């Protein structure tokens, strides 16, 4: 029987074996997911076929990006169904059509900025758009920075530096915006989401999170909510501590938690458990798609266990269907 996660109005049924791939294909480390206006699901992964497109029932439609992307990391889709693909291995953001035509490239392929220089990019991680179509980029692993670009890719401003104070970052891992132009940044290893205005002025922060990794704004313009994917423990000393994730948290626009899905017993591959939720998207019916970097994270979570073949094959993408009863 499928697992049910959450409670009250936020109950979700796990759709086991969601992705139906061609024979011999794999979804290796699904770094991010996006859903377009027709509820087609774009699966940005680190396998041989970087962008796999499915319908909302998991049926395979097409793929693209072979030979283009180095290491999938972030994926965002705009109101016109343009895809913003963040490649941390190539240090670029590419704006693409839904069939893979590249419309814009920000950054120089294979040419990272100097480590922690503050210049774009050094292993950038994700994108979001302002109400005017300006592009925010979180940057990332080799920087501690957020950059703001014009819609055609010209740098407007940057903010952030390494540290733990307000406006500082320790792995700026994901970014989202709302209809009012507020900017939400997953400051992963500082265990918080920081909130800024559109010009980079610090507003507040959300705490009580554990290594926030994925970040998705949903729920409509008037009352946005956020789904946050939290990683589990990253150190041997707390690896088996309960209630630290991996899990999903749903919070309101003030950061107040309204639901939590999973994570009480740590990582796992059984139905209803998570490995490493790294990317999140919702479709028009409120169903949640979760991309997981389970292959990369396996040795962190299970250093003494051999990784099952199903993790590499299909387990890195989950669908949670909202219970409508």
Question: Which own/partner contact pairs does 45-51 have at CB distance under 8 Å and 24+ positions apart?
Answer: 45/72, 45/291, 45/316, 45/317, 46/71, 46/72, 46/293, 46/295, 49/25, 51/83, 51/85, 51/100
- 90: exposed, middle or buried (C-beta count within 10 Å: 0-12, 13-18, 19+)? buried
Q: Are strands 145-149 and 317-322 parallel, antiparallel or unpaired?
A: unpaired
* pLDDT top residue among 257 and 310: 257
Contact residues for 91 (Cβ-Cβ < 8 A; gap 6+): 107, 108, 109, 110, 111, 112, 113, 121, 122, 123, 124
For 4-322, CATH gives: 2.120.10.30
Query: What pLDDT, on the 0 to 100 scale, is given for residue 15?
Result: 95
What are 155-210's pLDDT values in tens digits?
A: 999 999 999 999 999 999 999 999 999 999 999 999 999 999 999 999 999 999 99
Q: Contact at 8 Å (CB) between 134 and 156? A: yes
Q: Contact at 8 Å (CB) between 191 and 206? A: no
Per-domain residue ranges for the chain? 4-322
Instruction: Answer whether residue 268 shows pLDDT above 90.
Output: yes
Instruction: Answer whether residue 286 shows pLDDT above 80.
Output: yes
Instruction: Answer whether residue 325 shows pLDDT above 90.
Output: no
Q: Label residue 314 by pLDDT band (50, 70, 90).
A: confident
- Report the C-alpha gap between 125 and 109 in whole angstroms: 15
| Helix or strand (DSSP H, E) at 90 | none
What are 9-59's pLDDT values in tens digits?
A: 899 999 989 999 999 999 999 999 999 999 999 999 999 999 999 999 999
What are 126-140's pLDDT values in tens digits?
A: 999 999 999 999 999
Q: Which DSSP letter does residue 190 get? A: G
Query: What pLDDT, on the 0 to 100 scale, is given for residue 281?
Result: 98
Q: Label residue 310 by pLDDT band (50, 70, 90).
A: confident
Instruction: Answer whether residue 313 shows pLDDT above 80.
Output: no
Looking at the chain, the whole-number percentage of residues with pLDDT higher than 70 is: 100
Neighbours of 284 (CB within 10 A): 10
Contact residues for 235 (Cβ-Cβ < 8 A; gap 6+): none
Q: Label residue 2 by pLDDT band (50, 70, 90).
A: confident
What are 63-117's pLDDT values in tens digits?
A: 999 999 999 999 999 999 999 999 999 999 999 999 999 999 999 999 999 999 9
Instruction: Answer whether residue 152 shows pLDDT above 90.
Output: yes
The mean pLDDT of the chain is: 96
């Amino acid at each position: 029987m499928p697992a049910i996660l959450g409670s009250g109005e936020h109950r979700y049924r796990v759709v086991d074996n969601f992705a139906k791939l061609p024979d011999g294909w794999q979804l290796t480390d699904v770094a991010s997911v996006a859903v377009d206006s027709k509820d087609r699901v774009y699966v940005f992964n680190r396998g041989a076929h970087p962008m796999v497109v499915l319908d909302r029932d998991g049926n395979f439609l097409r793929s693209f990006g072979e030979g283009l992307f180095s290491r999938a990391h972030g994926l965002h889709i705009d109101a016109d169904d343009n895809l913003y693909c963040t490649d941390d291995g190539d240090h670029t953001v590419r704006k693409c059509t839904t069939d893979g035509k590249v419309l814009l490239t920000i950054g120089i392929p294979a040419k990272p900025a100097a480590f922690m220089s503050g210049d774009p990019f050094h292993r950038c991680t994700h994108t979001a758009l302002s109400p005017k179509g300006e592009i925010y980029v979180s940057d990332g692993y080799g920087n501690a920075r957020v950059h703001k670009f014009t819609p055609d890719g010209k740098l407007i401003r940057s903010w952030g530096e390494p540290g733990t104070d307000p406006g500082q970052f320790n792995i700026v891992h994901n970014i989202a915006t709302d209809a009012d132009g507020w900017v939400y940044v997953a400051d992963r290893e500082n265990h918080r989401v920081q909130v800024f205005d559109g010009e980079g002025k610090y507003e507040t922060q959300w705490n009580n999170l554990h290594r926030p990794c994925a970040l998705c704004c949903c729920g409509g313009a008037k009352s946005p909510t956020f789904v946050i994917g939290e990683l589990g423990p990253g150190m041997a000393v707390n690896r088996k501590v309960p209630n630290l994730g991996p899990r999903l948290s749903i919070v309101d626009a003030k950061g107040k938690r309204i639901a939590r899905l999973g994570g009480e017993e740590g990582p796992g591959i059984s139905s209803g458990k998570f490995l490493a939720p790294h990317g999140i998207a919702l479709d028009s019916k409120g169903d949640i798609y979760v991309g997981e970097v389970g292959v990369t994270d396996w040795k962190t979570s299970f250093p003494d266990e051999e990784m099952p073949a199903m993790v590499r094959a299909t387990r890195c993408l989950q669908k949670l269907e909202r219970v409508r009863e």
